[in-house]
């Protein structure tokens, strides 16, 4: 019979889950502005929604060419129905990320309730998962690669449900396999981890007599069929072949690949690269900081790392010693962590590059806290007090940082540029001129991709990144001296005006939030 205390823990876990969902959905205009990768992916999604091609006129690409260096396409496809229904805007394009993030937590919660009887354990897990700073931050903006960890969490949940089925039910395993496929389509760096995870999990299930060889064959066949276009893309990527079509799909050819800058991106030979990889990995794991404020805050990290790492160690040591207390979640998250080791050794340490490792580590933080607090009520209440204070501290930091429009706000988020573009278009000028923002202008003022392709002039930056310096209606490079030209309106960040030679007597000016509009005196 369930005690009153157990019922209270169960109710609190449900309330915490609901609060976590609210935190991921409320006011998706924050972070303010649109990030460059959000912007270019959003424009591709808009093009696919209305024209069936991306900005490069590729029909339903398996992988977006994007900047020339590539970007996973799955998020853009998820954005299509929302853009069709509500138009292209920041909050609309962030909706799929928020929805999928919440669905992963809901499925995880359902699985936990179905398979784990200890309600205090349930509460601990969802205090750590639902109020987790990394997952809240990544759920509130549309970085395509951040879909992958949610699909892996969904896959683990389905494997657990299949494991606990009274009969061998391949349907749950097939669904889990499909989620792993979706993770592969979400993020290229996950390819280092997912093959190992697939082998480890099916080997584990087979040894536990929870799946037959026929069931494994069925799951792998399903995965192979669904992954076939992505496999063709991977072959094309690493062999440098030409772009081609597979029915309505396009097997994309990239100008240069992003893995060149994310896989051991240090000079000086392999040992030097491994040395710096180790140093940066330790720094990221201990401080939780990769310097990119869009991903993390210093010392808050992914799970309040300085406080969380001791609990990870406690959990791992305890579970190694006491095999009888291990559960199916312990096993699968351990396999997930082991499968992530190639990523940790090879991929440049940053929060989004390492996104496949955070859920396993977060789980073992929760496991360590549960092991440390379950036998003493005062420890439980100490844990509740600490996690409440940390959550409020993180919330205050997040809101104050991402609603401030000035420095040190991440420069990749162009704040209030949409207002400046709208004001500039009202001037009736033929050209809008600003500095390097073609992804943002296409997001806020999307044009027919056929027109964009026909009129664009491109420039290649460091790392093989291709940017448009002009296209129909826009010029996206500014000279040192701004000269009034009939039919042109300039958009310059007000704080940057001092970087240019400007005779303001020759211009009309208008301040629009963080920007100043300038246009010729002879234009009304």
- φ/ψ (deg, to 5) at 475: -120, 130
Is there a domain that residue 409 lies in? no
Q: Domain containing 505: what range?
A: 417-520
CA-CA distance, 261 to 248, in Å (whole number)? 31
Q: CA nearest 125: which of 115, 285, 294?
A: 115
Q: Give the tokens for residue 78.
A: 């998820």
Pairing verdict, β 71-72 and 466-471 = unpaired
Cα 246 to Cα 58, 60, 123, 232: the distances in Å are: 11, 10, 48, 10
Check whether residue 396 and residue 501 sit in a common domain. no
Element (H, E) at 312: helix 305-321
Cα 21 to Cα 157, 158, 394: the distances in Å are: 18, 21, 16
- φ/ψ (deg, to 5) at 491: -115, 115
Is there a domain that residue 61 lies in? yes
Residue 249: burial class (beta carbons within 10 Å; 0-12, 13-18, 19+) = middle
pLDDT tens per residue across all 524 residues of the chain? 457 777 889 999 999 999 999 999 999 999 999 999 999 999 999 999 999 999 999 999 999 999 888 999 999 999 999 999 999 999 999 999 999 999 999 999 999 999 998 999 999 999 999 999 999 999 999 999 999 999 999 999 999 999 998 776 789 999 999 999 999 999 988 999 999 999 999 999 999 999 999 999 999 999 999 999 999 999 998 888 889 999 999 999 988 766 555 666 655 567 777 777 888 889 899 999 888 888 889 889 999 999 999 999 999 999 999 988 899 999 999 999 999 999 888 888 889 999 999 999 999 999 999 999 998 889 999 999 999 999 999 999 999 999 887 766 777 788 889 999 999 999 888 899 998 889 999 999 999 999 999 999 999 888 788 999 999 989 999 999 999 998 899 999 998 999 999 999 999 999 998 899 999 877 55
Domain boundary among 402, 427, 442: 402
Check whether residue 458 and residue 362 sit in a common domain. no
Contact 80, 87 (CB under 8 A): no
Check whether residue 387 and residue 469 sit in a common domain. no
Cα 495 to Cα 168, 406, 440, 499, 513: the distances in Å are: 64, 10, 19, 9, 11
Question: Which residues have C-beta within 8 Å of that of residue 117, sequence separation ≥ 6?
Answer: none
Check whether residue 245 and residue 372 sit in a common domain. yes
Contact 315, 128 (CB under 8 A): no
Q: CA nearest 441: which of 450, 428, 432, 449?
A: 432
Q: Which residue has the tokens 């509740």?
A: 384
Domain boundary among 346, 372, 402: 402
Q: How many domains does the chain have?
A: 2
Contact 58, 250 (CB under 8 A): yes
Q: How many residues are there in the chain?
A: 524
């Amino acid at each position: 019979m369930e005690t009153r205390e157990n019922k209270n823990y169960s109710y609190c876990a449900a309330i915490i889950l609901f609060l976590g969902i609210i935190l991921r959905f409320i006011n998706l205009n924050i972070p303010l502005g649109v990030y460059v990768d959000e912007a270019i992916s959003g424009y591709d999604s808009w093009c696919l929604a209305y024209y069936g091609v991306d900005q490069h006129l590729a029909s339903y690409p398996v992988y977006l060419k994007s900047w020339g260096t590539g970007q996973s396409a799955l998020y853009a496809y998820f954005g299509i129905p929302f853009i069709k229904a509500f138009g292209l805007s920041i909050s609309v394009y962030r909706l799929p990320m928020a929805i999928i993030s919440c669905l992963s937590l809901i499925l995880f919660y359902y699985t936990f309730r179905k398979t784990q009887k200890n309600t205090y354990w349930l509460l601990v897990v969802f205090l750590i998962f639902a109020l987790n700073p990394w997952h809240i931050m990544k759920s509130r903006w549309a970085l395509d690669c951040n879909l992958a960890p949610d699909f892996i969490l969904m896959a683990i949940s389905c494997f657990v449900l299949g494991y606990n089925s009274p009969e061998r039910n391949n349907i749950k395993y097939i669904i889990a396999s499909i989620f792993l496929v979706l993770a592969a389509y979400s993020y290229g760096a996950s390819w280092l981890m997912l093959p190992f995870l697939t082998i480890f999990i099916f080997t584990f299930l087979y040894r536990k007599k929870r799946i037959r060889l026929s069931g494994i064959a069925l799951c792998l066949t399903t995965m192979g069929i669904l992954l076939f276009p992505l496999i063709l893309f991977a072959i094309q990527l690493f062999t440098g072949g030409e772009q081609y079509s597979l029915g309505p799909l396009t097997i994309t050819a990239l100008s240069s690949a992003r893995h060149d800058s994310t896989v051991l991106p240090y000079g000086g030979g392999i040992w030097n690269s491994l040395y710096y990889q180790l140093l940066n990995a330790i720094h990221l794991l201990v401080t939780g900081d990769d310097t990119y404020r869009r991903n993390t805050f210093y010392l808050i990290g992914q799970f309040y790392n300085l406080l969380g790492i001791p609990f990870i160690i406690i959990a791992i040591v305890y579970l190694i010693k006491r095999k009888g207390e291990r559960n199916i979640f312990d096993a699968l998250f351990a396999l997930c962590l082991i499968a992530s080791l190639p990523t940790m050794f090879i991929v440049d340490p940053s929060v989004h590059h390492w996104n496949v490792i955070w859920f396993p580590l977060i789980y073992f933080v929760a496991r360590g806290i549960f092991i440390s607090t379950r036998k003493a009520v005062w420890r439980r209440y100490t844990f509740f007090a600490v996690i409440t204070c940390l959550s409020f501290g993180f919330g205050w930091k997040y809101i104050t940082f991402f609603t401030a429009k000035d420095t040190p706000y991440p420069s990749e988020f162009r704040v209030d540029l949409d207002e400046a573009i709208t004001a500039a278009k009202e001037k009736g000028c033929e050209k809008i001129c600003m500095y390097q923002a073609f992804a943002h202008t296409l997001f806020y003022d999307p044009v027919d991709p056929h027109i964009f392709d026909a009129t664009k002039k491109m420039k290649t930056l460091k790392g093989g990144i291709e940017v448009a310096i002009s296209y129909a209606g826009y010029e996206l490079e500014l000279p040192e001296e701004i000269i009034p030209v009939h039919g042109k309106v300039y958009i310059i960040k007000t704080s940057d005006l001092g970087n240019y030679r400007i005779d303001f007597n020759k211009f009309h000016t208008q301040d629009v939030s963080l920007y100043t509009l300038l246009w010729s005196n002879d234009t009304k």
